[in-house]
C-alpha cells in the first residue's frame, strides 16, 4: 500500500508542495523522485525536478532523473552540459566511501558513458547489495545437490514486474519456448499482480508463477531454495525495484544476470 499512496500523492499535490516535500523531507526524497517520473508526464516531471534543484542544487538524484526525463522527450538543448556534469557527479560519488551513486548503471548506458564508468557504478551497487545482506542475521551455508539424470532442469526467473512491463513484453515468448520435457520454469515476481493481459498470458506459458512481492529478500531466497532451482536468472540487473539482495544470498548453484 505505501507505493500506491505515494503514487496518488504525487499525482494530486501541486508542484510547489511537491518540491517542498523533496527539500524538507530528505527521508522521502528517493521515493518521491522515482514516482514523479513514472506517474506524471515527462514535461511536468522536468518542471518538478528543476524546481527541486532550485531549492537544493546539490540534490544529485533529482539532477540524474532530470537528465533522464529530458532525454526521454529528446530535449537536447543542454545535453552536452548535462552529460559533463553527470560525469563529474558520477566520478565524485564513485570515489566516496559508503555512497550509493544516484546514477544507476542502466542510466549510464542511456548517456553513452564508457564501459569503465558503467563497471564502476555496477561495482558500487554490488557493494551496496552485499553490505545490506551482510547486516541481516541469516548466515547459512547451503550445500546444493547435483541434478539427477532423470530430473528436469529447473530454471527460475526473477523480475520486478511480471505484468504490463517491458521485461514481460520482451521475454514472454521466451518462457513458452522451453521444452517442458526437459525444463521446469519458475517465474518469481517482485511486483504484485497488475491484472493485465500480459500477466494472464504469462500464467498460461509457465508452470509456476509465484508472487513474492510481500516477502523479504530472505524469505524469497528460502522459497527459491525450497524449489530446488538449478539456474536462477536476474531479469532486472541494477534497476529500480530489482531483487539483487536475493541473488546475494546465493539461493541457486548457478546465477545469471541478463542485464
CB 218 within 8 A of CB 141: no
Non-local (6+) Cβ contacts of 14 within 8 A are none
Could you give the strand order of the β-sheet that contains 254-257, starting from the edge strand earlier in sequence?
208-211, 183-189, 153-159, 231-234, 254-257
Question: 114: which 3 cell numbers?
Answer: 564508457
The beta strands (E) that lie in 70-162 are given as 153-159
From CA 21, how far away is CA 40, in angstroms rounded? 17
User: In CATH, what number does 153-257 get?
Assistant: 3.40.50.11380
Q: What are phi and psi of 190, to 5 degrees?
A: -75, -15
CB 244 within 8 A of CB 217: no
**How does strand 183-189 pair with strand 153-159?**
parallel
CB 155 within 8 A of CB 180: no
CB 214 within 8 A of CB 186: no
CB count in 10 Å sphere of residue 74: 7
User: How would you classify residue 233: left for phi > 0, otherwise alpha for psi between -120 and 50, otherwise beta?
Assistant: beta
From CA 243, how far away is CA 159, in angstroms rounded? 7
* pLDDT tens, residue order, the chain (259 aa): 333 333 333 333 444 444 444 443 444 444 445 444 444 577 888 998 999 999 999 999 999 999 999 988 889 999 999 999 999 999 999 999 888 999 988 889 888 899 999 999 999 999 888 888 876 645 556 678 888 889 999 999 999 999 998 899 999 999 989 999 999 999 999 999 999 999 999 999 999 999 999 999 999 999 999 999 999 999 998 877 788 999 998 999 999 988 6
| Domain locations in the chain as residue ranges | 2-134, 153-257
Give how far Cα 123 sits from Cα of 52, 99, 136, 195, 250, Å.
29, 12, 21, 36, 18
Angle, alpha carbons 170-173-178 (nearest 5°): 130
Instruction: Give the three-class secondary structure for 10.
Output: helix
Radius of gyration for the alpha carbons in the chain, expressed in angstroms and rounded: 20
Domain formed by 2-134, architecture: Alpha Horseshoe (1.25)
- Does an H or E element contain 231, and which? strand 231-234
Q: Do 2-134 and 153-257 agree at the fold level?
A: no
Q: What is the pLDDT of residues 104-120, one digit of tens each?
A: 888 898 888 999 999 99
Q: How far apart are the first and last CA of the chain?
A: 29
From CA 157, how far away is CA 218, in angstroms rounded? 17
pTM across the whole model: 0.74
**How does strand 183-189 pair with strand 231-234?**
unpaired
Q: What is the pLDDT of residues 77-102, one digit of tens each?
A: 999 999 999 999 999 999 998 889 99
Amino acid at each position: 500500500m505505501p507505493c500506491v499512496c505515494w503514487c496518488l500523492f504525487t499525482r494530486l499535490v501541486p508542484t510547489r508542495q511537491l518540491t517542498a516535500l523533496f527539500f524538507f523531507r530528505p527521508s522521502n526524497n528517493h521515493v518521491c523522485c522515482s514516482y514523479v517520473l513514472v506517474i506524471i508526464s515527462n514535461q511536468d516531471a522536468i518542471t518538478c525536478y528543476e524546481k527541486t534543484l532550485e531549492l537544493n542544487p546539490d540534490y544529485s538524484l533529482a539532477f540524474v532523473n532530470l537528465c533522464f526525463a529530458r532525454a526521454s522527450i529528446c530535449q537536447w538543448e543542454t545535453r552536452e552540459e548535462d552529460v559533463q556534469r553527470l560525469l563529474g557527479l558520477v566520478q565524485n560519488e564513485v570515489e566516496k566511501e559508503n555512497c550509493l551513486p544516484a546514477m544507476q548503471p542502466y542510466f549510464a548506458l542511456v548517456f553513452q558513458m564508457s564501459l569503465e564508468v558503467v563497471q564502476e557504478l555496477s561495482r558500487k551497487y554490488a557493494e551496496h547489495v552485499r553490505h545490506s545482506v551482510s547486516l541481516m542475521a541469516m548466515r547459512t551455508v547451503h550445500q546444493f545437490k547435483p541434478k539427477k539424470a532423470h530430473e528436469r532442469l529447473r530454471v527460475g526467473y526473477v523480475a520486478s514486474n511480471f505484468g504490463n512491463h517491458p521485461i514481460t513484453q520482451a521475454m514472454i515468448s521466451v518462457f513458452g519456448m522451453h521444452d517442458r520435457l526437459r525444463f521446469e520454469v519458475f517465474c518469481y515476481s517482485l511486483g504484485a499482480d497488475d491484472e493485465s493481459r500480459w500477466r494472464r498470458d504469462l500464467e498460461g506459458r509457465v508452470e509456476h508463477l509465484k508472487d513474492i512481492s510481500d516477502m523479504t529478500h530472505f524469505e524469497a531466497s528460502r522459497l527459491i531454495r525450497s524449489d530446488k532451482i538449478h539456474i536462477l536468472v536476474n531479469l532486472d540487473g541494477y534497476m529500480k525495484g530489482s531483487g539483487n539482495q536475493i541473488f546475494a544470498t546465493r539461493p541457486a548453484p548457478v546465477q545469471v544476470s541478463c542485464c
